[in-house]
Amino acid sequence: MGASDFSKLPHIGEPVKRKEDYRFLTGAGQYTDDIALAAQAHAVFVRSPHAHARVRSVSTDAAKAAPGVIGVLTGADVAADKINGLPCGWLITSTNGEPMKEPPHPILALDTVRYVGDQVAMVVAETLEQARDAAELVEVDYDPLPAVVLVADAAAGSVPGAVVHDIAPDNHCYKWAIGDKAAVDAVFAGAAHIAQLDLVNNRLVPNAMEPRAAIGSYSRANDEYTLYVANQNPHVERLLMTAFVMGLPEHKVRVIAPDVGGGFGSKIFLYAEDVCLTWGARKLNRSIKWTADRSESFLTDAHGRDHVSHAEMAMDASGKFLAMRVHTDANLGAYLSTFASAVPTILYATLLAGQYATPQVYVEVDAWFTHTAPVDAYRGAGRPEATYLLERLVSRCAWQLNLSQAEIRRRNFVTSFPYQTPVALQYDVGDYGACMDKAEALADVAGFAARRADSEARGLRRGLGYSSYIEACGLAPSNIAGALGARAGLFECGEVRVHPTGSVTVFTGSHSHGQGHETTFAQVVAARLGIPVENVDIVHGDTGRVPFGMGTYGSRSISVGGAAIMKALDKIEAKAKKIAAHLMEASDADIDFAGGEFTVRGTDKKIPFAQIALTAYVPHNYPLDKLEPGLNETAFYDPTNFTFPAGTYICEVEVDPATGVVRVDRFSAVDDFGTIINPMIVEGQVHGGVAQGIGQALLENCVYDRETGQLLTGSFMDYAMPRADDFPEFKLGTVCTPCTHNPLGTKGCGEAGAIGSPPAVINAVLDALHPLGVRDLDMPASPHRVWSAIDAAATS
């Protein structure tokens, strides 16, 4: 079935209420911490208070003798049991001829700690309180060493002795570049205009509502491990843990990710605690539970962003983009986390062409180790960093050439598809002008001048900010990922099991942790089979039940996981048609299937889907020599390209120059997600993403002390999260150009809001402050920063 026929089916485009919400809203969800295994013990991790120190000794005697303690495990035990470090650098290699440095990442530190929160020992006791008390008794003798926390200091080598890993004495992990440097330099040499920009993409803490949690258990009877874990991709977690870390046969480990209370990227990775609990369960012969407290989450969940960049755009006299040149320093933190090497490279540099037909783009990335928590994917992962840089630069081009923010964008939009960018990607389809038209109408741009005058009359400044984003979703086609240096592509698997009564259970390798897959995937199946949505259940998050999976991130689930299910449904339909042909004594080729009924073309013969299902399992009078019983099919789907959601966001702010307080007055977002399965769920995704993006732009900032490496923003008292009263009612709209290469026509929607919104907000603040001489501002645009920028402009 083609994407265009699919989009016309019943249930597609309907705002079906989320099936999963009943259990979430009635407190019946089952999160990892809700699970209590028989005789389960509790773990507490002893963590480094230093950003960098030699570990002289770890004494566990007093802790082991404390009441209720079952065991205390340290780096020495890890080494004795030959447990490897976490795998790193799974996704990219250097491009400068030097291999990427891949230092070991021990699951418990042996002789060196490399960031505040690095785990040194695991204390296991009968109760959580006993484990906490005993953890206080573990004596670690540290020899503190100098620490480096900023990429600028790492790159300059300005902190003597602050070497994170011996294999990278200059703290440089890799260099990666894309584009034709010589061609770009030549264009710059003759350009009529050049705009330049230095900017920082601020470091963020993910702060999912449910902290990380896991329970390791081991059955001696079957020699099998089970790990319950708040994780976004259980099969990959299992693969990495068995193949790389513990050296176990994969079938002996079951990973279950039950209800998960948000991940936003931070629960994709294999964390050290997960391995400690799995290994510890066998070693101590007890099931062991650990749930991070909020302070541990701040310290040890992989952080996001943290880029420092210089960007330049070369233009002709009319403002047409000719070439772009970017250099970015990326902070990787103390270790290479699972996807960390892909974020500032494949997921960032390749998106820097944006929506524009810039003929030449060259991007160079240097990635650095520092004594901070590992940095990895956080909602958008590389694409918000690309969009922020590009959209800030484009608005700067507009101001430099005295064009409007809309005009510079319209002059440079890609208008014909497919479009090959100079940085590897090929956009299949889009209509960027239509998104901007609709966004300008929603934002009432025509009425802005009057609103600005009104603000000025009240002593306030008002600004309008544009951001036209594009992102690559549906990670990741193996062919493209491989060509860019990735060591693995990311397909997806789906199994459709039709029961004899005609109801259906679907097993998907995607994982839902807030995105509503139990509803939208059921809509897809119900639409295809012509059955009620209630007759379809979606199973996910369990390696013991789902054949295989690559998990959920990169807004891939509907376009890759959903497409795998569609492939399995194709097979179901083909087999069902054979059964129908047999029952109606017709040829397979004459059978049509629509609206839940099989018909013989040109006759009035018909059979409902449920009858075919029953026949498949009750095969009397059935040609068993030609068809096996049962109606159960599995498919793997590897996309041929990314999907490219795109849109224009327009933000309107009012700034009080006396206090520096920024108020978002209006926010309009128009997105092209191709075919939309469930508009209510999609709106919710955009709302959440925009809230996170505005949070980054105005409030959130993860700060380490530059000398000591202590996390200064380690609680909600110091790290400002956005709240509902920070936002206006968002105005949302859509444009639909269906994706051309997946059978649903969908493009991902889960990250768009977080990608498109930060530059729209900052461009709006800069637009408001332009008359006061402010030309530059880094995120978050806190009152202090805004006030200082106004003050500095007034006194310069």
Nearest partner of 300 among 339, 344, 335, 331, judged by Cα: 335
What is the nearest approach in angstroms of ligand MCN to the Cβ of residue 748?
4
Report if residue 750 touches ligand MCN, rule: CB under 6 A: yes
Alpha helices in 402-501 (DSSP H): 405-412, 432-442, 448-457, 478-483
Report if residue 303 touches ligand MCN, rule: CB under 6 A: no
Nearer to ligand MCN by C-beta: 147 or 564? 564
What is the nearest approach in angstroms of ligand MCN to the Cβ of residue 49?
30
Query: Under 8 Å CB-to-CB from 8, ≥6 apart: which residues?
Result: none
User: DSSP code of 558?
Assistant: I
Nearer to ligand MCN by C-beta: 524 or 786? 524
82, amino acid identity: K
Report if residue 554 touches ligand MCN, rule: CB under 6 A: yes
206, amino acid identity: P
Alpha helices in 699-796 (DSSP H): 752-769, 783-795
Report if residue 94 touches ligand MCN, rule: CB under 6 A: no
N residues, the chain = 796
Report if residue 32 touches ligand MCN, rule: CB under 6 A: no
Bridge partners, residue 759, by sequence:
none
Nearer to ligand MCN by C-beta: 353 or 752? 752
Report if residue 337 touches ligand MCN, rule: CB under 6 A: no
Q: Which range binds ligand MCN by CB under 6 A, 454-462, 528-536, 674-682, 774-782?
A: 674-682
Report if residue 677 touches ligand MCN, rule: CB under 6 A: yes
3-state SS, residue 693: helix
Q: Which of 50, 172, 452, 517 binds ligand MCN (CB under 6 A)?
A: 517
Nearer to ligand MCN by C-beta: 267 or 409? 267
Q: Do the beta carbons of residue 328 and residue 366 sit within 8 Å? A: yes
What is the nearest approach in angstroms of ligand MCN to the Cβ of residue 101?
28
Q: Which range binds ligand MCN by CB under 6 A, 116-124, 259-267, 578-586, 658-666?
A: 259-267
The two beta strands, 591-594 and 597-600, are antiparallel
Q: Do the beta carbons of residue 469 and residue 756 sit within 8 Å? A: yes
Q: Which of 106, 509, 514, 709 binds ligand MCN (CB under 6 A)?
A: 514
Question: What are 260's two structure tokens?
Answer: 């998960």
Q: Which range binds ligand MCN by CB under 6 A, 281-289, 515-523, 657-665, 723-731?
A: 515-523
Number of residues counted as binding ligand MCN (CB under 6 A):
35
Restricted to residues 751-770, the positions that interact with ligand MCN (CB under 6 A) are 751
Question: What are 326's two structure tokens?
Answer: 């970017």
What is the nearest approach in angstroms of ligand MCN to the Cβ of residue 689?
7
Residue whose C-beta lies closest to ligand MCN: 514
Question: What are 739's two structure tokens?
Answer: 């994706």
Report if residue 655 touches ligand MCN, rule: CB under 6 A: no
Q: Do the beta carbons of residue 482 and residue 595 sit within 8 Å? A: no
Report if residue 525 touches ligand MCN, rule: CB under 6 A: no
Nearest partner of 563 among 670, 699, 446, 675, judged by Cα: 675
Q: Do the beta carbons of residue 689 and residue 699 sit within 8 Å? A: no
Question: What are 542's two structure tokens?
Answer: 């369990």
Q: Which of 94, 746, 757, 782 binds ligand MCN (CB under 6 A)?
A: 746
User: Token match 């209800």: residue?
Assistant: 259
CA 727 vs. chain centroid, Å, equals: 23
Distance CA 106, CA 109 (A): 6
Nearer to ligand MCN by C-beta: 328 or 734? 734
Nearest partner of 728 among 690, 768, 764, judged by Cα: 690
Report if residue 553 touches ligand MCN, rule: CB under 6 A: yes
Q: Which range binds ligand MCN by CB under 6 A, 210-218, 285-293, 410-418, 553-561?
A: 553-561
3-state SS, residue 426: strand
Report if residue 504 touches ligand MCN, rule: CB under 6 A: no
Report if residue 674 touches ligand MCN, rule: CB under 6 A: yes
What is the nearest approach in angstroms of ligand MCN to the Cβ of residue 263?
4
Q: Which range binds ligand MCN by CB under 6 A, 256-264, 298-306, 436-444, 613-621?
A: 256-264
Q: Which range binds ligand MCN by CB under 6 A, 116-124, 130-138, 148-156, 678-686?
A: 678-686
Distance CA 8, CA 11 (A): 9
Nearest partner of 650 among 751, 722, 728, judged by Cα: 728
Q: Do the beta carbons of residue 382 and residue 351 sit within 8 Å? A: yes
Q: Rg of the chain over CA atoms, in angstroms? A: 27
Bridge partners, residue 721, by sequence:
none
Nearer to ligand MCN by C-beta: 112 or 231? 231
Nearer to ligand MCN by C-beta: 106 or 753? 753
Q: Which of 92, 277, 676, 781 binds ligand MCN (CB under 6 A)?
A: 676
Report if residue 685 touches ligand MCN, rule: CB under 6 A: yes
What is the nearest approach in angstroms of ligand MCN to the Cβ of residue 349?
19
Query: Taking each helix axis from N to C terminus, what angle separates 562-583 and 517-529, rounded to the nearest 10 degrees?
Result: 30
Report if residue 432 touches ligand MCN, rule: CB under 6 A: no
Q: Which range binds ligand MCN by CB under 6 A, 110-118, 233-241, 271-279, 746-754?
A: 746-754
What is the nearest approach in angstroms of ligand MCN to the Cβ of residue 343?
12
Q: Which of 85, 265, 695, 759 binds ligand MCN (CB under 6 A)?
A: 265
What is the nearest approach in angstroms of ligand MCN to the Cβ of residue 550?
11
What is the nearest approach in angstroms of ligand MCN to the Cβ of residue 562?
6
Query: Under 8 Å CB-to-CB from 574, ≥6 apart: which residues?
Result: none
Bridge partners, residue 462, by sequence:
654
User: DSSP code of 16?
Assistant: P
What is the nearest approach in angstroms of ligand MCN to the Cβ of residue 260?
8
Q: Which range binds ligand MCN by CB under 6 A, 34-42, 89-97, 670-678, 776-784?
A: 670-678
User: DSSP code of 716?
Assistant: T
What is the nearest approach in angstroms of ligand MCN to the Cβ of residue 459?
40
Strands across the sheet containing 504-508? 536-540, 504-508, 492-498, 632-637
Report if residue 681 touches ligand MCN, rule: CB under 6 A: yes
Q: How many CB atoms lie within 10 A of CB 387?
A: 31
Report if residue 384 touches ligand MCN, rule: CB under 6 A: no
Nearer to ligand MCN by C-beta: 361 or 429? 429
Report if residue 644 touches ligand MCN, rule: CB under 6 A: no
Distance CA 358, CA 427 (A): 14
Binding residues for ligand MCN (CB under 6 A): 262-265, 379, 513-517, 520, 552-559, 673-678, 681-682, 685, 688, 746-751
